[in-house]
Amino acid sequence: MTEPLLKVERLRKSFGSNEVLAGIDLEVHERDVMCIVGPSGSGKSTLLRCLNHLEKPTSGIIFLRGEPIGLRWKGNRLHEMTFDELSRQRRRMGMVFQGFHLFPHKTALENVTEAPIIVKGLRPDVARAEAMEMLEKVGLADRADYFPRQLSGGQQQRVAIARSLAMKPELMLFDEPTSSLDPELVGEVLATMRQLADEGMTMVVVTHEMLFARDVADHLIFMDGGVIVEQGDPKQVLTRPRHERTQSFLARVLPEAV
């Protein structure tokens, strides 16, 4: 078995006395798509945000290709990384948010070229050419010069995906990327993600779209109360859940689709 791309060991996170993640272990292998589902407040976003240290774990380690995130050995002593050291690791993991978070003062194209130019030091013309490729991939080449406020929610989210892809990340994290979209716009974003998965991008996706999880995920995780209650093959988990908590969650969110 090859070394996993991402490995989470004994991850715990508390906000004050509120323990939100109560010991999470998981592995994501290269080219795999992992979907995480679970009721509101179960800690899905917190887990995802711990992966690239947008939240600092209370304890536990996240390894990216065997390298601990946010920590550095100096001889036999373990040091916390500074923000700027951490940013070298963060750029290897793209992240797409529920609320897009595009830069409103920049055009779609500039949103995509920004990080490659200033973080990677790419020449502007090279960055623009690459960014156009990314926009092409998400089907928005003709919107390159639009500002975010001139785009629909679905288009904004696809620009946000292109923005992350432009950094050539080793894996992509998605936190409910379609949850703030009007129903008729969900499809275009899911199609883009499906295409990414087909191209072999490693993805961790928190989602409420059970059909997407069933069809695209290689591995499904059901979380509740800060722990992984059940995991495995998505069809298995969705059609024949073994745990009572999974069953009652699925009964609520699945009409009869799956």
Partner 1 sequence: MSKTSERVVSGRPDIHVVKPIPVRSYGQWAGAAVLLVFAALFLKNLTTNQNMQWPVVRQYLFHPDILSGLGMTILLTLLAMVIGLSIGIVLAIMRLSSSPVFQGASWVWIWFFRGVPPLVQLILWYNLALLIPEISIGIPFGPKFATWDTNDLITPFSAAILGLAFTESAYAAEMLRAGIQAVSSGQVEACASLGMTRSQTLRRVILPQALRIVIPPIGNDTISMLKFTSLVSVLALPDVLYSAQMVYARTHQTIPLLVVATIWYLVLTTVLTFGEHFVEHRLHSGTPLSLREMLRRLVVTVPFRRQKEIAS
Ligand X SMILES: Nc1ncnc2c1ncn2[C@@H]1O[C@H](COP(=O)(O)OP(=O)(O)OP(=O)(O)O)[C@@H](O)[C@H]1O
- Residue 248 CB, nearest distance to ligand X (Å)? 16
The Cα 47–Cα 32 span in angstroms is 18
44 binding ligand X? (CB under 6 A): yes
Question: How far is C-alpha 109 from the geometric centre of its chain's CA atoms?
Answer: 22
CA dist 240 → 68, 125, 253 (Å): 36, 52, 15
The Cα 138–Cα 193 span in angstroms is 9
Member of 4, 57, 70, 94 binding partner 1 (CB under 8 A): 94
Name which of 170, 242, 158 is nearest 232 in CA terms: 242
45 binding Mg ion? (CB under 5 A): yes
| Token reading at 90 | 């963060």
90 binding partner 1? (CB under 8 A): yes
Amino acid at 253: V
- Residue 180 CB, nearest distance to Mg ion (Å)? 11
Length of the chain counted residue by residue = 258
Member of 9, 19, 114, 133 binding partner 1 (CB under 8 A): 114
**149 contacts: CB under 8 Å, gap ≥ 6:** 104
- Assign 72 to helix, strand or coil: strand
Given the rule CB under 6 A, which of 44-52, 107-115, 164-172, 197-205 is the region that contacts ligand X? Answer: 44-52
Strand order in the sheet with 227-232: 93-96, 171-175, 202-206, 33-37, 219-224, 227-232
- Residue 38 CB, nearest distance to ligand X (Å)? 6
- Residue 190 CB, nearest distance to ligand X (Å)? 18
- By CB under 8 A, what part of segment 21-60 binds partner 1? 52, 54
Name which of 158, 249, 205 is nearest 48 in CA terms: 205
- Closer CB to partner 1, 88 or 123, in the complex: 88
- Closer CB to ligand X, 25 or 198, in the complex: 25
- By CB under 6 A, what part of segment 45-104 binds ligand X? 45-46
The Cα 162–Cα 137 span in angstroms is 8
Residue 107, binding choice from Mg ion, ligand X, partner 1, none, Cβ under 5 to 8 Å by partner class: none
150 binding partner 1? (CB under 8 A): no
Amino acid at 148: P
Given the rule CB under 5 A, which of 41-49, 61-69, 148-156, 224-232 is the region that contacts Mg ion? Answer: 41-49
Footprint of ligand X (CB under 6 A): 15, 18, 20, 38, 40-46
Footprint of partner 1 (CB under 8 A): 52, 54, 83-84, 87-88, 90-95, 97, 99, 101-105, 114-115, 118-119, 160, 163-164, 167, 173
